[in-house]
Amino acid sequence: MNIKGLITQQRLAGLTFLAFFLLYGWFTGDITLDFWAEQELFTAQTFPYLIAVGGAALSFVYVVRPALGQPIHLDNRTWLGGIVILLLLGYSHFIEFAGFPLASALLLAVGFFVLGERRAWLIAVISISVVSTLYLILWALGIHIEPGLIGLLFEVDGR
Amino acid sequence: MIEGILLGLQTVLTLQNLMLVLAGCAAGTIIGMLPGLGPISAIALMIPITYGFDPSSGMILLAGVYYGAIFGGSTSSILINAPGVAGTVATSFDGYPMASKQGEPGKALATAAYASFAGGTLAAIFLMMTAPYLAGVALSFQSADYFLMMVLGLCLVTAFSAEGEHLKALIMTFLGLSLSTVGTDITAGVQRFTFGRMDLYDGISFLLLAMGTFAMSEAIMMILRGNRQDRLKVPNIGLNLKQQDLSKLVPTVSRSSALGFLIGVLPGAGATIASFLSYGMEKRWVKNPEPAFGEGNIQGLAAPESANNAACTGSFVPLLTLGIPGSGTTAVLLGALIAYGIQPGPRLYVDQPDVFWAVIVSMYIGNMFLLVLNLPLIPYLARLLTIPQQFLIPLILFFSMTGVYLVSFNPFDLQLMVWIAFAAVILRLLSFPMAPLLLGFILGGMLEDNLRRALTISNGDLTYYLDRPITIVLLMLIVLALLGPLITQLRHRLA
């Protein structure tokens, strides 16, 4: 038996899905039911159990005979994609501290730089103008966004 | 009916009301293009403005905003694969490949505009002729029928998958269904899969999942694919459709508009199901499509576009004739009508025919204005794709994040979206389709509600599903949809 032939990326994906649906079914048991739920035909657990069973069955069939697909190869651009994802995660944490305008301008500026733009003036102009324009449109529509650090600097509360 | 149409025309064809249609369409299109602001937000933002007008004028403005927002959402779906509303997800299947891979953004946007116009116009005509009668038909659909119709929609998900990848599509559907159960169960009021996180009590938002699985993952895939040239070749921004394209579009638009309108009439069904069903139907109907569906096929773009616009019109049937909102957007419109002191329902047709017919006629005029407004904008919108990738990709990512942030102002949602995008990229690299995930997510809540109601009504008796002709027909269609791909595969192997 060719072990290496059995362990393919598609099969690993299938096993991941199988594990997910089994865990999903497991955690379905943690859903709190009211004391009268025993009398009910359909409870908060019913639909999740159906999904868990269906999903696990399909995943099992997939593991046994996976559909075709190209294997993933890692190269330089994969790491670039990873850096961008880290940048987005950083933005999602930084926005709470720095506020929407500053965090967004930095996201755009760093994103442009990471993807190859080197003209600093262009990076600054585009990132600041996009964020400012969006902020003004939202202000005109009456949608309040916390200005964050920029607001503290200019004593603006975003209203 | 003729008197009603004339009354509607008399109401709408005043300078003020025509300007309101125009303003509504323009405002709706712009707001619809902004990530995170779909038709519901657009209408909610405009309601206070309408308080100064009489009810007919206010409803005319809001109806224009509705269509404009749907069209605006289609634009972002086509150009950057970022469907902002559920009804425009299916538009991206062929709209985005046509714009990006084939380099025909102008043709894609023009096709969407013409298909939307045709779908909305045909549906407005259907509405004029059948509104009072269709209300009765809509009432005959019960929970079991809704449940089976949604299951049919999910089974047709195999239409979205390539040959031999139906199993992957079904797995992704179940993944979407599982994500739809996160949050508070509305009926029982208990938390499900929140793991104690208050941020998940309201579940995962559709916009978050759509942006993560479509826009953001596509942007990251663009980075992974890379391009030797950092600027796309100048795309063809021409709007002209060839004669052979038009001859393909006519039957597609006719079929999809009829299907979309009928589905839109059913309360709760909406543009999403209409667009997916019409896409699936078209994919099965068209023989030897060139290019293949999912690669920028013009019929694959026109079908969901005309269906979703027709469904939007159809959703006015239960609203105006029964006072039952057919979708989230019509629920907001219902609120607006009540704010004007109008009670929609069977009496609206009799007591305030000017409002009833003005809304219907304004739909036709609104569709015309949308076409006139948006066609000249298409060459400028299409130029978005000429932006170099080092600018385009961060902008797409930024607008995706902003769209989600504007809804909840919760950084947790942004973090969740990034992780979803990461998972989506891996799944896409392994050739798992995203559309079934999104469809399963959208329909999961409604499926559960209708199944619960159906089983409660029948006291757990599954033969209830065999009692009515509608359910039997739907069951047969489901079996065909599931077995169809298997039979096709078997025939290929035996051949």
Enter the pTM of the model: 0.77
Q: Within an 8 Å CB–CB cutoff, is residue B456 touching chain A? A: yes
Residue A132, token pair as written in the block: 């400012």
The candidate with the shortest Cα–Cα distance to A116, out of B222, B196, B273, is B222
Task: Kindly report the number of other CB atoms within 10 A of residue B154's CB atom.
Answer: 24
Identify the pLDDT of residue B139: 65
Interchain pair B165, A13: CB under 8 A: no
Give the per-residue pLDDT at B52.
72
CB-CB: which of A58, A108, A126 is closest to B170?
A: A58
B170 and A CB contact within 8 Å: yes
Q: Which two tokens stand for residue B329?
A: 């957007």
Provide the token pair at A156. 């603006």
Burial category of B238 from C-beta neighbours within 10 Å (exposed 0-12, middle 13-18, buried 19 and up): middle
- Rounded-to-integer distance, Cα B77 and Cα B95, Å: 7
CA-nearest residue to A57 within chain B is B171
Radius of gyration (C-alpha) of chain B in whole angstroms: 22
Chain B contacts of A89, Cβ < 8 Å? 415, 418
Q: What is the pLDDT of residue A67?
A: 62
Q: Which pair of structure tokens corresponds to residue A110?
A: 């760093």
B199–A contact, CB cutoff 8 A: no
| Chain B partners within 8 Å of A9 (Cβ) | 430
CB contact burial B52-91 (16+ within 10 A = b; e otherwise): ebbbbbbbbbbbbbbbbbbbbbbbbbbbbbbbbbbbbbbb
Best residue in A92, A94, A108, A146 for a mutation probing chain B (most B CBs within 10 Å): A92
In one-letter notation, the amino acid at residue A54 is: G
Type of residue numbered B189: G
Q: With beta carbons under 8 A apart, name residues in chain B contacting A104.
A: 398, 402
Contact B397 A126 (CB under 8 A): no
Q: What angle do CA B307, B294, B181 make, to 5 degrees?
A: 70
Predicted pLDDT at A28: 93
Separation in Å, CA B434 to CA A128, B170, B421, B470: 33, 11, 11, 31
A54, B188: Cβ pair inside 8 Å? no
- Cβ proximity of B143 and B450 under 8 Å: yes
Residues of chain B with pLDDT under 70: 1-5, 34-38, 40-41, 44-45, 48, 51, 84, 131-139, 157-164, 227-241, 267-269, 324-328, 345-347, 349, 382, 384-385, 464-466, 485, 489, 492-495
Q: Which residues of B touch A141 (CB under 8 A)?
A: 31, 45
B367-382: pLDDT as tens digits: 787 788 777 777 777 6
User: Would you state the pLDDT for residue A47?
Assistant: 92
Chain B: residue nearest A146 by CA? B409
Whether B415 contacts chain A with CB within 8 A: yes
Q: Spell out the per-residue pLDDT of chain A, length 159, in tens.
A: 455 555 678 888 899 999 999 999 999 998 888 777 767 778 889 999 999 999 999 999 998 886 666 666 667 778 888 899 999 999 998 888 888 888 999 999 999 999 888 899 999 999 999 998 888 877 777 777 776 666 666 655 444
Q: State the pLDDT at residue B434.
A: 82
With CB atoms and an 8 Å threshold, state whether B185 touches A44: yes
Query: What is the ipTM for the molecules in this complex?
Result: 0.88
Which residues are paired to A54 by β-bridges? Answer: none
What pLDDT score was predicted for residue B325? 67
Q: Nearest-CA neighbor of B85 among B238, B246, B312, B414?
A: B312
